Structure 1
Amino acid sequence: MRIKALPALLCAGLITATGLLASSPALAAEPARGDAGASSDASAAGDIRQKLERIPGLTVVSVADKGGFPFYTLTLAQPVDHRDPDSATFPQRFTLWHKTETAPVVHYTGGYGLSSGTREITTLLGANQVSVEHRYFNTSRPADVDWDDLNVWQQASDEHAIVQALKSIYKTKWLGTGASKGGMTQVYHERFYPGDLDAVVAYVAPNDADNRDDSVYERFFQTVGTPECRSALDAVQREMLVRREAMLPRFEATSKEQGLTFTYLGSPDRAFEFSVLDQVWNFWQSGTYTDCPAVPDAEKATDDELYKWSLDHGLSIYADQGNGAEGSGPYYRQAASQLGWADLKFKHLRDVRNYPDIYQPNSVLPADMRTSYNGRVIKDVDRWVATRGERMMFVYGQNDPWSAEQFKPSKHDSHLYVAPDTNHGALISKLTPAERAKAEATVKRWAGQ
């Protein structure tokens, strides 16, 4: 029932999906600087800090060095409700990796807590990078949270405020990017504030425009990999529930070792079934077809062999710890209210399931965070992207469940690529050589390079 990857129910799972190590060729190629250059850099960094400190509502929390350039941790006072600018505020965290005022700016969000790893297109362009923590995750929240204010328009308005504030310094090209839920977040930003960014590159961004129709996901699991691999995975998943009496004590022992409880889901047995339902999704989200030969023979495997393999290959445990307000709960709240989820049929498990209605985001939330679904805004975004979106690029992974329901780009200088034999970590660099060259040339053109 996902829409992420922390377990599968989540969709942003690989939070570093579009990140590159600091040792990438583009960074390694930075020329050595002598004393004069270092002095000039220090002067420029001080000038940037002064400009940042003059922005109303912005606080410079700290500054460090990253690859020879200043790396700022910042907050901006954001209205709890952008419809009422005089409402209470909260400090939204973000970072700025400053290189030069004339370089492009890559505006990134992971869709969850603050993640500032270097993005693929940041390295490609030699760009500055702004990384934003999503509202109501970690410390980017008010003291008293009204979860109704956690919606895609409010977050888009948060990002709009940050972009407009920093454009007083960076009067250059701005490109938005993010992976999974972060990619979705950038699409929503572009929909509501199309004047902010010059282009968007969204990786593995799910688009559940019709939450009632999950036929695309069903077809994905009927076609991904080989028939032999699909059958073996289904057999393991089924056998886990067939052997519930043997598996549940092992599941409870693992949970006790990790200090996990299941108040939200209701019982260890309900949590066990929920986790088993996620196994195959997680296998394909994080693994590849090369992992298929290791799938055990479900009927011949011992209880210990079956449980250990599952625990190592997709049996993510959904517990109170990590799924409340202080963890991934804000994501599940968004999935339940607006983003949607994959409510799979699991036909091969019907006679061994005890809780047929459990596979949905409200199940893993505390009672005060549960809500009802309204897909009106997401449908509007879907139509807008397909008809009016400009300079938008979508990169998906061929074997990634999250990539099954895709955004359909318009004909206005927008593009869609699928990286072959790739999971939720799809990148431009994982496209075929010809498509990679084409995509990189497009991104550079959008950046004015």
Structure 2
Amino acid sequence: MHSWFKKGLTAAVAMLAITGLAQPVASAAPGGAPEDITVALKKIPGLKIVSEDPAPTGYRFFKLTYTQPADYTNPKAGTFEQRLTLLHRDVTAPTVMFTSGYNVSESPNRSEPTQIVNGNQVSMEYRYFTPSIPAKTDWHKQLTIWQAAVDEHRIVQAFKSVYHANWLATGGSKGGMTATYFRRFFPNDVNGTIPYVAPNDVVNEHDSYNKFLSKVGDPGCRDAVKAVQRDALKRRDELGGLVKQVSDQKGYTYNVVGSLDKAIELIITDTYFTFWQYQPPTECANVPKPGAPAKDLYAWFEKVDSLTGYADQEGASTIAYNYQASYQLGWYETYDAHLRDLLRYPGTFVPWTFLPKEVKRPKFDHFAMPDIDFWVRTQAKDMLYVYGEYDPWGAERFAPARFPWSDNHVYTVPKGNHGAKIAQLPADQAAAATATVRKWAGLPEQAPDARTFSAPSAPAGFPQFDADLMMIDRPKF
């Protein structure tokens, strides 16, 4: 065990004792009647009900804040208010702990595991995403995967005083990474973990992504996307005029990346990755041919990877992610060999390019991800990973332990992208994965029979697509 981890763990245990986690909360009012959930929530130390908002029939939806220490290794660092939401159905139902790894959604959406188990859902905003930021920031000490894992641990333990049934953890993309890290540091907090499309960058700047991208999908589609990238770079002045017009209308600036021209080049360079990340194979037919009208080319980029995406105003919400990628999470190599003769800013598609000057670039932590990877490969249990066959982020994926007692699973959605879900798997695999999730939730398993499986349907009032399962935004997680 690394000395930094032992020191942090000791301090965290002390802090948790000071803050008094998981104090018992009464589950019934006098006379044996069920206690109203608002009464139970108000008994959780540090939890504040901000509002109760409309929710579909049979559910209640709360916006909350929870007081968290800014630094679990330093009790003098103060506290901050972390945003949460709660979708409540029944205190006797299973509960799913969800995070996107970014901001928390303020809508009563349900992650897929919550749909499968018809449970409650607690959703957490990741620390350092607005407004869940300490008044006095210390990025290097406070914005680490371990500090965030302790945040999640405290929340789960606090809510277990109300929700006594089984708990699951989940998240998509960076949220799937977060769910994995949470389980690594607190393996006994939940009964099962379901990470979706979670990258596993064990060795930073490894070429696994480029190898994947060179073979993904149909060769004709790969060639078409490469051709439109080259065409866009050759016509950057023409496209730049359109981008400037839109930017002026919206008040966009490009001080962080350095210039509008550089921002456009970075977007175009990364479009190949983004296309395969989010677009279905049917979109291959819609890739513009070289020489297409500028307005058609601009419209295509708006759908795939907006040319204004690296404006200061667009990137402000993901500065914390770019810091983490620069510090612990890692990054992917740029797939740009076919573009290098057209580039004016080669080698600048790196996470620290997107950090404002007031945020100092950190020294990369080469121990954090190998530690996670080793734990997942050797000690993890009750983990179910879902990936998309065409999703570039799956080029380096988690490979959980395969011991008889591990009960770990990895599924891949055929031709799936960064929105891959259990419901998109072949019917027999979807049924088996659903049965596993239900088992971990303490519910009767559904037989893995392709003839009886159907995807969970949304009750009245819920959208069929639960948007807060994925952070479909820049950057690519």
TM-score interval for Structure 1 and Structure 2 normalised by the shorter chain: 0.7 to 0.9
Task: Say if 1:280 and 1:314, in contact at 8 Å, map to a contact too.
Answer: no
CA RMSD of aligned residues (A): 1.9
Matched, 1:307 2:298: yes
* Distance of 1:84 and 1:55 partners within structure 2: 23
Query: Which of these residues, 79, 83, 87, is aligned with residue 89 of structure 1?
Result: 79
Following superposition, the deviation at residue 345 of structure 1 comes to 4.3
* Distance of 2:223 and 2:303 partners within structure 1: 19
Following superposition, the deviation at residue 377 of structure 1 comes to 0.9
TM-score by length of 1: 0.86
Gaps of 5+ in 2: 1-28, 444-477
Partner SS, residue 309 of structure 1: helix
The 5-angstrom pairing of residues 138-157 of structure 1 reads 138-148=130-140, 149-157=142-150
1:155-208 CA distance string (max 9 Å, x none):
100011111111112222110011011111111100111111111000111111
1:75-129 CA distance string (max 9 Å, x none):
1110000112343000111112222222111000011111251111111111111
Q: Which residue of 2 aligns with 1:60?
A: 49
The residue type equivalent to 1:383 in the other structure is F
Query: Which of these residues, 296, 308, 330, is aligned with residue 340 of structure 1?
Result: 330
Q: Which residue of 1 aligns with 2:470?
A: none
Q: Check 1:63–1:349 CA distance in 2 against 1; reply closer, same or farther (3 A cut).
A: same
Q: Which residue of 2 aligns with 1:380?
A: 371
Q: Which residue of 2 aligns with 1:440?
A: 434
* Distance of 1:244 and 1:281 partners within structure 2: 19
Following superposition, the deviation at residue 318 of structure 1 comes to 3.4
Partner SS, residue 78 of structure 1: strand
Following superposition, the deviation at residue 45 of structure 1 comes to 7.6
Q: Which residue of 2 aligns with 1:105?
A: 95
* Distance of 2:262 and 2:308 partners within structure 1: 11
Query: Which of these residues, 209, 212, 234, is aligned with residue 205 of structure 2?
Result: 212
Query: Which of these residues, 312, 321, 326, is aligned with residue 331 of structure 1?
Result: 321
Query: Which of these residues, 117, 130, 134, is aligned with residue 122 of structure 2?
Result: 130
Query: Which of these residues, 177, 189, 196, is aligned with residue 184 of structure 1?
Result: 177
* Distance of 1:271 and 1:45 partners within structure 2: 57
Q: Which residue of 1 aligns with 2:350?
A: 360
The residue type equivalent to 2:420 in the other structure is A
* Distance of 2:146 and 2:41 partners within structure 1: 26
**What percentage of aligned pairs have identical amino acids?**
42
* Distance of 1:240 and 1:160 partners within structure 2: 47
Q: Check 1:202–1:266 CA distance in 2 against 1; reply closer, same or farther (3 A cut).
A: same
The residue type equivalent to 1:166 in the other structure is F
* Distance of 2:134 and 2:33 partners within structure 1: 34
* Distance of 1:212 and 1:64 partners within structure 2: 44
How many residues are matched? 405
The 5-angstrom pairing of residues 143-292 of structure 1 reads 143-148=135-140, 149-213=142-206, 215-292=207-284
Query: Which of these residues, 71, 91, 95, is aligned with residue 61 of structure 2?
Result: 71
Gaps of 5+ in 1: 1-39
* Distance of 2:330 and 2:39 partners within structure 1: 43
* Distance of 2:289 and 2:46 partners within structure 1: 60
1:115-152 CA distance string (max 9 Å, x none):
25111111111111111111111211122222121111
TM-score by length of 2: 0.81
Q: Which residue of 2 aligns with 1:33?
A: none
Following superposition, the deviation at residue 245 of structure 1 comes to 3.0
Task: Say if 2:273 and 2:335, in contact at 8 Å, map to a contact too.
Answer: no
Task: Say if 1:340 and 1:375, in contact at 8 Å, map to a contact too.
Answer: no
The residue type equivalent to 1:84 in the other structure is N
Task: Say if 2:389 and 2:413, in contact at 8 Å, map to a contact too.
Answer: yes
* Distance of 2:391 and 2:33 partners within structure 1: 43
Q: Check 1:316–1:404 CA distance in 2 against 1; reply closer, same or farther (3 A cut).
A: farther
Task: Say if 1:321 and 1:327, in contact at 8 Å, map to a contact too.
Answer: no
Query: Which of these residues, 390, 394, 400, is aligned with residue 385 of structure 2?
Result: 394
